[in-house]
Amino acid sequence: MAEYLDILLNFFKPDERFIMHRLKSSRFSLIVTVVMMGVWFEYDLIVNDQIRWDLLIILSASAIAKLGSMVYYRLKQ
């Protein structure tokens, strides 16, 4: 029974490729989310003539977090 458990655990153990794919997909999803929120913010501004502060705050927080992490990792490596 223990050897079957070892085989199963080795099968699901993440390696470097899995971690890099997860990192790249997270980056891509963040960029798509920020672009879509920016488009939605601009649409509300142009069509409805109103500023959605909640969208602007979340968009700014995402952009600041992305830029901050880029600067942090650039300085660390």
Judged against a pLDDT cut of 70, whether residue 14 lies above it is answered with no
Percent of the chain with pLDDT over 70: 83
User: How is the chain split into domains, by residue range?
Assistant: 18-76
* pLDDT score for 42: 92
pLDDT at 35 over 80: yes
More reliable by pLDDT, 11 or 25 = 25
Residues with Cβ within 8 Å of residue 52, at least 6 apart in sequence: 40, 41, 44, 45
Q: Which residue has the higher pLDDT, 45 or 20?
A: 45
